[in-house]
Amino acid sequence: MAVIQSLLFLIVLGLTAFFFSKKAREIYKNIKRGKPEDISDRPAERWKNVFLLAFGQKKMFRNMIPALLHLCVYVAFLVTQVELIEIVIDGIFQTHRVFFPILGGLYTFVINFIEILSVLALIATFAFLARRNLLKIPRFQMDEMTGWPKLDGNLILIFEIVLVFCIFLMNGADMAMSGGKYGFWLSGMLGSAMEGLPQGVLQAMERFGWWGHILLVFGFLNYIPYSKHLHIILAFPNAYFANLGSKGEMVNMPAIMKEVQSMMDPNAPMDDSSGADEEIPSFGAKDVDDLSWKSLLDAYTCTECGRCSAACPASGTGKLLSPRKIMMDVRDRMEDLTKLEAEHGPDHKDGKMLIGDYISPEEIKACTTCNACVEECPVSISPLNIILELRRYQILEAADSPEEWNLMFTNVENNGAVWQFNPEDRAKWVDEA
């Protein structure tokens, strides 16, 4: 019987690893669609970001109540991995609480700590469910948070409740069968209420809790890549590769800079290094392949928390723009391309683009480039980079810009400034005063 159970566990473990690794490779391939971007400078600062933003959740604590609730779930998730390691070992070798004889009192302390954290996580889970469904927090009620995104946010919270139930059922039944020898405080109370039950029933309850716990964990592992909770994994590399430049600094385009410099200063030396037959560069991004790999990593890392959209002045004044939706649309486009290529081959085109078919021109035109979305994101995502690249395509490639912008462009070309008069005339009022 033990051999059969061990074999069954290994099959489930193997299938879990296979399907997770398959989806992980698909996501990695999608991120590699993006254009190269060298992000290898200042490694010490980057590791500092990992520890402060990803591990320490520094930005979360701008709003204390949700930060503390999230911290309960986060710490419980991390510490529970100790118990998970033991369950995997027990499952493979058909042992039972293999760490208890080795660690003794330390083992009892760790499990008690895990149970306390689990109760705190359970309280936080109910609070999150209430925030999403009863309190109607505005950023959870926006248009992009209907359908699957709303269901996704609730499903994971329900999984958490069932997982905690399985943990206490397993530990409580174990305490009842062992006469309380493990010394668990909270599950010990449950075990005391179970002591009158037959041994076979207790054993079945313990096995149900044990298998329920591990199957939920394995299921969650394969659910993560399809969910906003992929940030549990990707927040760490995303924090490492975060932009360390000046806040609000925009990346210039060398080809455009060269043209502007020659326009502003006709006497500037010309760069003749490029040949006449050099391919004309494309500007901006019309689809995900035109974005950098970091922008695509951002899209997969998005937690869909909506802090970016809540802080966006354009979104707050009723404009179409929602930075969160931008990130969700980029991720949806990558997923759609993956399905398309799987069905019809890598060279098949669907005739769609990111701009126009997923993100409307009105959305990107509404952006004020104030950088509020970047500042608010707890995991260092930059919707602004994607918006700028899409807008550059619209202006420089599709020649689609509002009349007000065209007037400004003409003024810059003619006067070297955004105004309709020569900048040198702006200060003449001083002499006239």
* pLDDT band of 233, cuts 50, 70, 90: very high
CATH code of the domain containing 308:
1.10.1060
**95 & 141 share domain:** yes
pLDDT value at position 268? Answer: 61
**80 & 134 share domain:** yes
Say whether pLDDT at 263 is over 60.
yes
**401 & 259 share domain:** yes
Residue at 55 is within a domain: no
**220 & 349 share domain:** no
pLDDT value at position 276? Answer: 46
Q: What percentage of the chain carries pLDDT values higher than 90? A: 69
pLDDT value at position 277? Answer: 52
Report the alpha-carbon distance of residue 77 to residue 160 in Å, rounded. 10
* pLDDT band of 275, cuts 50, 70, 90: very low
Average confidence (pLDDT) over 321-341? 95
Could you tell me the two tokens for 156? 């994971």
**165 & 89 share domain:** yes
Residue appearing with tokens 């010309």: 270
Residue at 432 is within a domain: no
Residue at 270 is within a domain: no
Please tell me which residue, 108 or 1, carries the higher pLDDT value.
108
Report the alpha-carbon distance of residue 360 to residue 60 in Å, rounded. 30
**15 & 149 share domain:** yes
Domain that holds residue 384: 254-263+282-422
pLDDT tens digits, one per residue of 50-101: 999 998 989 888 888 889 999 999 999 888 888 899 999 999 999 999 999 9
pLDDT value at position 423? Answer: 67
Say whether pLDDT at 174 is over 80.
yes
Could you tell me the two tokens for 30? 């999608």
pLDDT value at position 250? Answer: 81
**222 & 321 share domain:** no
**259 & 339 share domain:** yes
How many domains does one find in the chain? Answer: 2
Which H helix or E strand runs over 391? helix 383-392
Residue at 431 is within a domain: no
Residue at 433 is within a domain: no
Residue at 9 is within a domain: yes
**205 & 296 share domain:** no
**13 & 143 share domain:** yes
pLDDT tens digits, one per residue of 276-329: 455 667 788 999 999 999 999 999 999 999 999 999 999 999 999 999 999 999
pLDDT value at position 26? Answer: 96
**10 & 80 share domain:** yes
Burial of 27-54, coded b for 16+ CB within 10 Å and e otherwise, reads beebbebbeeeeeeeeeeebeebbeebb
Residue at 74 is within a domain: yes
In this structure, of 30-39, 138-147, 308-317, 346-355, the range with the lowest mean pLDDT score is 346-355
Say whether pLDDT at 171 is over 80.
yes
Residue appearing with tokens 């895990």: 114
pLDDT tens digits, one per residue of 394-433: 998 888 888 888 888 888 877 777 777 776 777 777 777 5
Query: Any alpha helices (H) in 195-276, and if so which ranges?
Result: 199-223, 231-240, 254-264
235 touches 301 (CB < 8 A): yes
pLDDT tens digits, one per residue of 189-213: 999 999 889 999 999 999 999 999 9
152 touches 231 (CB < 8 A): no
Average confidence (pLDDT) over 363-374? 93
Nearest CA to 316 out of 352, 368, 267, 259 is that of 368
**149 & 16 share domain:** yes
Strand partners, 359: 355
Contacts with 59 (C-beta within 8 Å, 6 or more apart), sequence order = 53, 376, 377, 378
**Going along 44-117, which residue ranges are E strands?**
none
Report the alpha-carbon distance of residue 285 to residue 35 in Å, rounded. 10
pLDDT tens digits, one per residue of 2-61: 788 899 999 999 999 999 999 999 999 999 999 999 999 999 999 999 999 998 989 888
Distance of CA 403 to the CA centre of its chain: 36
Residue at 40 is within a domain: no
